[in-house]
Amino acid sequence: MRIAVAGATGHIGALTVSALEGRGHDAVRIGRSLGVDLLTGEGLDDALRGVAAVVDATNASAMDREEAVAYFGTMTRNLLAAEQRAGVRNHVLLSIVGLDRVEGNAHYAGKREQQRLVADGPVPWTIVPTTQFHDFAAMVTSRTEKDGAATIAPLLVQPIAPQDVADILAEVAEGGPQGRYPDVAGPEPQDLVDMARRTNEVRGHAVRLVPTWSGLFGPSMAGNAMLPRDGARIAPTSFEEWLEAGAP
């Protein structure tokens, strides 16, 4: 099949392209650095010619709530309109477990807008909500680190390997549209502060961690808010296995 990946130069997008190619598909790569801009629509119709399914693994860097909703909203509208013109039969959106339970997070507001547009949109769809990736804790501390210290919330998460996310997106894209897919998570719950400490240790990065609910994430993400719901699909690779592989 000819399957496009929006966000193909990104972390999960690049792994998804490889996963699709490994399964024998023709993967079309979409990203601004590849000459296709979802905000303006530039290059999009050409990229989607003959495409049967699209995986949306785009991202928006740190912004306020209004900007995040506008950024994800505009990209999604342009992508869905071009998919409709091209006759795409499955729009697969990578989303986040627990989005509806969390208030006050700008990125999540943008992702909710993306989900709303997909579910109400003109193209048959599958929304795949996953938990945080194994590298999430270190990504958080790299954003908050200052003068050798980094703030991080003591979130309870059930993280998943980036490669497992990509493999599942490739599998879903080659099937028909399924609507809302079950939550997808890794095998075990973890404490985000402990994940950050262990990841930075494996990567040889020294940083003092300061647990707090007053940084990037607030108390609406505490308790079980970020954990997968009953009936979740559990991916195989544990956080420990990922660390043993060098925390790639």
- Residues of this chain that interact with ligand NAP (CB under 6 A) are 6-13, 30-33, 36-39, 57-59, 75, 94, 96, 111, 130, 132-133, 136
Burial class (CB in 10 A: 0-12, 13-18, 19+), 215: middle
CB nearer to ligand NAP: pick between 19 and 96: 96
CB of 29 to ligand NAP, least distance (A): 9
Nearest residue relative to ligand NAP (C-beta): 10
Is residue 19 within 8 Å of residue 162, measured between CB atoms? no
CB nearer to ligand NAP: pick between 25 and 112: 112
CB nearer to ligand NAP: pick between 112 and 197: 112
CB of 73 to ligand NAP, least distance (A): 12
Strands (E), 74-223: 90-96, 125-130, 149-152, 156-157, 179-180, 184-185, 190-191, 208-211
CB of 172 to ligand NAP, least distance (A): 14
Residue type, 23: R
Q: How far apart are CA 187 and CA 233, in angstroms?
A: 9
CB of 30 to ligand NAP, least distance (A): 6
Residue type, 74: T
Q: How far apart are CA 162 and CA 248, in angstroms?
A: 9
CB nearer to ligand NAP: pick between 7 and 228: 7
- For residue 117 the two structure tokens come to 């547009």
CB of 5 to ligand NAP, least distance (A): 9
